[in-house]
Amino acid sequence: MKFKAKSLDVAEGRLEVILNDRDAKDLGLHPNDRVNLFAKHRGAVAIVNTTKTFVGRGEIGVNREVKKACKLKDGYAISLTPAEKPKSIEHIKKKMKGIALSESEYDAIIKDVTANNLSEIELTAFVSALYINKMSMDETVFLTKKMAENGEMLNLKKKPIFDKHSIGGVPGNKITLLVVPIVAAAGLVIPKTSSRAITSACGTADIMEVLAPVTFNASEIEEIVNNTNGIIAWGGGVNLAPADDILIRVEYPLGIDPLAIASVMAKKYAVGANFVVIDLPMGEGTKVATMEEAKRFARDFVELGERIGISVECAITYGDKPIGRAVGPALEAQEALKALEGEGPSSLVEKSTEIAGIILEAGGVARKGRGKQEALEILNSGKALAKMREIIAAQGGDPKVTSENVQVGKYSEKVFSAGGGYVTHIVNTAIVQIARTAGSPKDEGAGILLHVSKGEKIEKDSVLFEILSDSEYKLEQALKLAEQIQPVILEGMLLKRIPEYTIFGH
Amino acid sequence: MKFKAKSLDVAEGRLEVILNDRDAKDLGLHPNDRVNLFAKHRGAVAIVNTTKTFVGRGEIGVNREVKKACKLKDGYAISLTPAEKPKSIEHIKKKMKGIALSESEYDAIIKDVTANNLSEIELTAFVSALYINKMSMDETVFLTKKMAENGEMLNLKKKPIFDKHSIGGVPGNKITLLVVPIVAAAGLVIPKTSSRAITSACGTADIMEVLAPVTFNASEIEEIVNNTNGIIAWGGGVNLAPADDILIRVEYPLGIDPLAIASVMAKKYAVGANFVVIDLPMGEGTKVATMEEAKRFARDFVELGERIGISVECAITYGDKPIGRAVGPALEAQEALKALEGEGPSSLVEKSTEIAGIILEAGGVARKGRGKQEALEILNSGKALAKMREIIAAQGGDPKVTSENVQVGKYSEKVFSAGGGYVTHIVNTAIVQIARTAGSPKDEGAGILLHVSKGEKIEKDSVLFEILSDSEYKLEQALKLAEQIQPVILEGMLLKRIPEYTIFGH
């Protein structure tokens, strides 16, 4: 039976065809079955979907991936036969039954994930099985290696290779923009790839992009790192452990992350890291709520690292409030530059030199116990700023940039306290929501600038924070939201969230 | 921000909108997020999907369900705001964590399943969690009741109500076409709803449809049963426990069925059954492989029945070979009629009167231990045939039908044995594949007629079976397949599956 190809732009990323459901019934095919496609030039295996009316009888809807795989044009004839399901589905079912999988079974699954051979249903069954039945450390090792090996691997000439990762959850955590230049200025190699924001106010890649392009392929990264010792690139530009990005699509809607540690370490394995420092922010709104949980995470990172040949050191950091005072791409880029220029807020400088110091000690650049001091000296000497400018230039940005000439949101409004007292809480989740409502991370200039610190005593009518935005409308929306959800809490006001007690007024 | 509606026929059954992915990014929306839609006339909550090119910026793809819910036309303006995920997703995550759910939590989940509020990812997470973490009997009770209550419930005047169910897996199992008229002829009420084939050669609804229409709504079923005591209707025509049909869509691709017992009993609960006999065919290719498994199934059915007020009796039956000799809609309808006319194959009559007898005893029509004999008498007296004709007439078929005038496939070919010996195996799975290749169940006349029985001694050149089809091409395909997969195995030939030892030739 021959079908006429009809272009459809659905199910991007996966080879999928859509049949009229009466044709499907005739052929004994069900949604999510596989078929072998035979076109004039080339064949492929695709997943079946059905429709009552979207394609007519005798037609076959083909998406971009199928057209590419089969070299098809609209109206071309295709014939099809039922195909076997990928073998990896049997492995997924085995894991659902609670049986540990072997290295070759993880390899088969990750190959099919990476090649987009699995449907959303099958991917969900896989992550659900990992979430519910957990993985042994052996399995985590297999999965981590296979995620890396079924993707691009950097091949840097300079060794050893250092890296850092923050598991996230704290707004304003722009320390990468200090750590990378400090470490690189000390002569160590640090090829940092970072993510963009998914649910946070902004990711490191969003911040760095204010200063320079961040999208580079593997050989470009190799070249920049070879020249400068460092880079701050967007991870999405290079295909490191790509299975992770596909699995996230089904993990995100469920709010589960069973591969957390494996995902992080797969990317580090793929860049060839020898030593990694993991920043584990602990506190409200972060991914680690208690010290016990932080220690368990740390143990797992260290053990997994050992098993795959990466030395790991974990730093459990204070995550109960934003790092520094700025949240939002341009505001954070500005604050990071200011810190490199010698005028950073203490919480940012503290944390950045702490993390950089761990790497300096591991790299033999500083004696044991002297890493932080050494990092601070590199920062204060201006060498870190010079290195940052070198990296910005290598990435194609303007090396003459200063904190003064970073463009922040042109619309802004300050929010004042209605009473006085001690600042008892700065609420991470509220900060993130407000910054996003103001336009962050998409609108570079949008975000929040905090004017008070946790623990500080303030008077009535003090500026609590300032919201900046590239759009008047979004600024207005963000201000409205800020009144509702109160990002800054003063002593004694915490339980009085009825409208007449609002602490806002401007 | 206003979007222009554009009709798309995707994700049938679910409220779904498709945004250009740059618009989605601007709004901070991800695939599988929920949005509140505000149109001119009405609003709704829908699931978000994104595309690079299928809808342009400023457009919003709306499927049929969204158009209906919001009373939309192409080009209408829609605005949207982020919406919360359904609360039931939290319950699903709780079950993923291994915590038993309460009655109200199952109610919330099943309500959202039935209303198509959950995405495929969420549905898959739910069935995966049930499959991996299992349900307690309490949970099975909650789920069963909620599946029934969130659907249509029959309200039959005549009581008590009897029913039967076969958990399937044996080809040729047309016993419902004998059991229903025998039971109804004895004066007992049996409102049987049956399924069509999904992966089997043909379902009871497919067979009955050869003789009469099978699609009826609840009040039509009530009327027919009120008049005749019986019916053989297609379950899909009436909305009994509809959540089951939605969950099957994600269970089928994974080949898992964690709700098996709950699904069956929910439908029985929805028809108001007081007594149900469950046929558990045990053997190769059925759903129950061992006696131990069969007994566990039986215990669960009986216990669940007790808990929801239904008396259950289970019959573990021989399922290692087809029931009767015919497989395929018209062939099975013909064979069932032949049996009602007094000339049925012994395996069919045996099993049908056994199952009917259990109901006759439960209904007080036969003394304990005399049910099967009584069923056989009703069959032999012609009362069952008369009742079947009455039911066929009530369903809108021709009551004068006989086994002679059922139309079977006009193309047929016999397959002969290449040698002699004992028939050691009739392979269920091979029979099913061949019948489906011949066109069953879609082509009514297609199927297989077995000419030998298991254990029978045959000579060289005996007819083993006959394949019938409505199409010459499909007959040819089915014959080819039969040569490859050998549905009938003779003694001594089992291990010799190399081509020169083929037992086929015609």
Q: How far does CA A489 lie from the centroid of its chain?
A: 29
Cβ count within 10 A of residue A455: 11
The CATH code that applies to domain B162-238+248-394 is 3.40.1030.10
Q: Confidence class of residue B69 from pLDDT cuts 50, 70 and 90?
A: confident
Residue spans of the domains in chain A: they are 2-83, 88-134, 162-238+259-394, 411-501
Q: Report in angstroms the alpha-carbon separations of A140 from A102, A251, A290, A308, A342.
A: 11, 17, 23, 10, 42
CATH fold of A2-83: Barwin-like endoglucanases (2.40.40)
C-alpha distance from B250 to closest chain A C-alpha (Å): 6
In whole angstroms, what is the distance from residue A380 CA to residue A375 CA? 9
Interface contact B129, partner A, CB < 8 A:
yes
User: Do B84 and B45 touch, CB atoms closer than 8 A?
Assistant: no
The structure's pTM equals: 0.88
User: Do A274 and A311 touch, CB atoms closer than 8 A?
Assistant: yes
CB contact under 8 A, B121 and A253: yes
In whole angstroms, what is the distance from residue A129 CA to residue A150 CA? 21
pLDDT in tens, A192-242: 999 888 788 999 999 999 999 999 999 999 999 999 999 999 998 999 999
CATH fold of A162-238+259-394: Pyrimidine Nucleoside Phosphorylase; Chain A, domain 2 (3.40.1030)
CB contact under 8 A, A128 and B133: no
CB contact under 8 A, A250 and B133: no
Mean pLDDT of B20-28: 85
List the catalytic residue out of A257, A279, A300, A320.
A257
pLDDT in tens, B440-453: 998 999 999 999 99
Report the amino acid identity of residue A13. Answer: G
**In CATH terms, is domain A411-501 a member of 3.90.1170.30?**
yes
Find, in chain B, the residue whose alpha carbon is nearest to that of A253. B32
User: Looking at residue A492, what is its pLDDT?
Assistant: 60
Q: Confidence class of residue B9 from pLDDT cuts 50, 70 and 90?
A: low
In whole angstroms, what is the distance from residue B379 CA to residue B339 CA? 8
Count of all residues that appear for chain A in the document: 506
Q: B501 vs B271, which has greater pLDDT?
A: B271
pLDDT in tens, A36-79: 999 888 888 999 988 887 788 999 988 888 888 888 888 888 99
- CA dihedral B357→B360→B362→B367, nearest 10 degrees, is -90
C-alpha distance from A387 to closest chain B C-alpha (Å): 33
User: Is B405 buried (19+), middle (13-18) or exposed (0-12) by CB count in 10 A?
Assistant: exposed
pLDDT for residue B11 is more than 80? no
CB contact under 8 A, B93 and A30: no
Mean pLDDT of B37-51: 87
CB contact under 8 A, B120 and A122: no
Per CB-CB distance under 8 Å, the chain A contacts of B51 are 9-10, 12
CB contact under 8 A, A128 and B132: yes
Per CB-CB distance under 8 Å, the chain A contacts of B442 are 25-26, 28
Per CB-CB distance under 8 Å, the chain B contacts of A53 are 9
pLDDT in tens, A349-364: 999 999 999 999 999 9
Interface contact B436, partner A, CB < 8 A:
yes
Least confident of A49-58, A300-309, A474-483, B477-486: A49-58
User: Do B454 and B423 touch, CB atoms closer than 8 A?
Assistant: yes
Picking from A51, A132, A198, A480 by the largest number of B CB atoms within 10 A of its own CB, the best residue to mutate is A132
Picking from B47, B118, B120 by the largest number of A CB atoms within 10 A of its own CB, the best residue to mutate is B120
Interface contact A31, partner B, CB < 8 A:
yes
- CA dihedral B135→B141→B142→B146, nearest 10 degrees, is 120
User: Looking at residue A398, what is its pLDDT?
Assistant: 97
The CATH code that applies to domain B88-134 is 1.20.970.10
| % of residues, chain B, pLDDT over 70 | 96
User: Do A26 and A82 touch, CB atoms closer than 8 A?
Assistant: no
Mean pLDDT of A84-100: 95
User: Do A466 and A449 touch, CB atoms closer than 8 A?
Assistant: yes
Q: Confidence class of residue A116 from pLDDT cuts 50, 70 and 90?
A: confident
Least confident of B82-86, B212-216, B276-280: B82-86
Interface contact B40, partner A, CB < 8 A:
no
A107 is catalytic: no
C-alpha distance from A475 to closest chain B C-alpha (Å): 15
Q: What is the ipTM of this complex?
A: 0.85
Per CB-CB distance under 8 Å, the chain A contacts of B120 are 120-121, 124
Out of A54, A121, A255, closest to residue B250 by CB: A121
pLDDT for residue B497 is more than 80? no
Q: Confidence class of residue B72 from pLDDT cuts 50, 70 and 90?
A: confident
User: Looking at residue B10, what is its pLDDT?
Assistant: 66
Interface contact A137, partner B, CB < 8 A:
no
pLDDT for residue A505 is more than 90? no
The mean pLDDT value of chain A amounts to 91
In whole angstroms, what is the distance from residue B476 CA to residue A419 CA? 88
User: Do A415 and A482 touch, CB atoms closer than 8 A?
Assistant: yes
